[in-house]
Amino acid sequence: MGMRLLAKDPYVADLFKQASEALGFDLPALITDSTEEKLARTENAQPAIVASSAAGYLAWARQSDKEDLPQWFAGHSIGALSAAIACGLLPFGQGVRLARRRGELMGSTPGQGGMLAVSITTPEARERALEIASAHRLEVAAFNGPRQIVLSGPEDGLRQAVDTIGRRGTRLNVSHAFHSRMMQPAQEAWDQEIAATALDESVFAAGVRPYFGCCSAIFAEDCEGVREDLRMALTKPVRWDAVIQEASHCTSGYIFGDGRILARMWRDRPRHLRIAVINDSHEEVL
């Protein structure tokens, strides 16, 4: 998770040092020395994901020609904070600290819940999945494109939905029902965190709109638009389908970090759209 790049690039090492200072503990040690179970805990996974993906982009951008840099950024779920760092809205350390706080708040919510990815093959199958979700008190946590939606909610509802959906449903290895009303107990504290977070308004100078909200599904016009998208991310669905639609107007795009899951969401992209996954400075074109 970004460790090879950390070992060979002093710039990335300094970024992780900033993150560790903001967090109050050694982030590289957490990533490299933790058990798989400990690192998977949401309060640890979220800052690790943001740090590795944002550092990967910043290191790549330093070595790239200005005309090759992306014009806008979007992040899936916690990746929204990576996007905010990448487009200059958030300092690196502050963004990683905010990811840690987000994970702590989401992980502290009461109740047993989880998430279920559902494969979609036709518009009719999509409608049927939404009907099943409603019948079992589940919510859509993510519209990941034409092939998949993710449902979120209480354990009993998930079990009943799996019985109905069958092999098209895959339980996700998560601890809570993220992007659902079960996150509501954490909302007020998260709103306060976002309100207290300083964003760089100069990013929006001259009409530039570099941040596309993964929950708002629109370009933010100003810092308040970014804050609103970040606030929504606890209880509202990820609209990655809207990100894919907006990207269809582009000719190239990049995924930073471990892009195996995100890459699958781009299988139905237009033929003219080139997507590359960049992980630890290694580039692989889809």
Return the active site residues.
Answer: 77, 179
Q: What angle do CA 251, 76, 263 make, to 5 degrees?
A: 55
Question: Alpha-carbon distance 165 to 160, whole Å?
Answer: 9
Annotate 127-142 with b (16+ C-beta within 10 A) or e (fewer). ebbeebbeebebbbbb
